[in-house]
Structure 1
């Protein structure tokens, strides 16, 4: 679905499909350099990271394993509560593995901070983070992120996996959701 298909629900386009494709390729080149000769485990954070994970895995020119974890701190709100619930845990054993967490967006950093600690405690050799989007002005905790696609303003965005009440995930670009939609 194109951003134009939901124009009345958006304030504006923030990132185009082309910009996303180009940024994913750029991130993959850096990941390939850093993981040369290794086979990292990509851990996608459901549901938002589905698009990022799929495109990242297809663009990478190295073998990777993939697993998924679902955690929630949003519900139907537009802001993270900071209270993390595991909705689906990993199937993979992390002991001795190089883990790359794949995130759609880093907002407050609270969920990601919790997730980093959780995965590190499982004996991973390394745990790094790749996020398509980061909101520096929304950060409540400092979280190390090795690979960042775009720093964006502290606005509620949808598209390319990001949703509001399970809508807009299938937009090809990323737009700023109009307040009348969630007010």
Structure 2
């Protein structure tokens, strides 16, 4: 489905949950935390595509210490608004991470399946340390016992769009987090 009607696009936004300013403030706060924690340490940010790409870019700009970036991609939603329960790693990082402190950068923790799989996969490669930062956490939806080390926002069980998060590949460009109207 190709969406060309702007009115229909906007009608799918139920309400803004987290504003652009709120996101910007949290990014500055967590950039400073990461600067302090990883000062003088080799840091690798591993972004989970596609949803976390905007979060990664803005977080990276708020981190003043040297760091590298890598990408992984996983898919569990396909084209719906609920997780399929199946997780496919569609892009893996090839570099040796054993000499890095790895920080997984995730857009949202929902059921926890995707992030748990990625975390275990990276942990098996013996990084110096391994932590997770997530933009959003939906603890009500958790089916796997997994929690991030850093969470910018905890949200209720709504399907959300914007700031990299999509529905059918649309809405990633919104500068805020909104509840999707189904």
Same-fold status (TM-score > 0.5): yes
Q: Which residue of 1 aligns with 2:3?
A: none
Q: Could you tell me how far apart the structure 1 residues matched to 2:82 and 2:35 are?
A: 33
One of 5, 11, 17 as aligned partner of 1:8: 11
Q: Which moved more, 1:6-15 or 1:104-113?
A: 6-15
User: Which structure 1 segments of 5+ residues have no match?
Assistant: none
Q: Could you tell me how far apart the structure 1 residues matched to 2:36 and 2:149 are?
A: 13
Conserved? CA contact 2:42–2:99, under 8 Å = no
Q: Which residue of 2 aligns with 1:161?
A: 164
Conserved? CA contact 1:135–1:151, under 8 Å = yes
One of 25, 29, 43 as aligned partner of 1:26: 29
* 1:1-183 → structure 2 map (5 Å cutoff): 6-179=9-182
1:82–1:126 Cα change, 3 Å: farther
Q: Could you tell me how far apart the structure 2 residues matched to 1:169 and 1:92 are?
A: 28
Q: Could you tell me how far apart the structure 1 residues matched to 2:18 and 2:33 are?
A: 21
User: What's the CA shift for 1:126?
Assistant: 1.1
Conserved? CA contact 2:108–2:137, under 8 Å = yes
User: What's the CA shift for 1:5?
Assistant: 9.6
Q: TM-score, normalised by structure 2?
A: 0.92
Q: Could you tell me how far apart the structure 1 residues matched to 2:35 and 2:84 are?
A: 34
Runs of 4+ in structure 1 deviating by more than 2 angstroms, as ranges, are 4-7
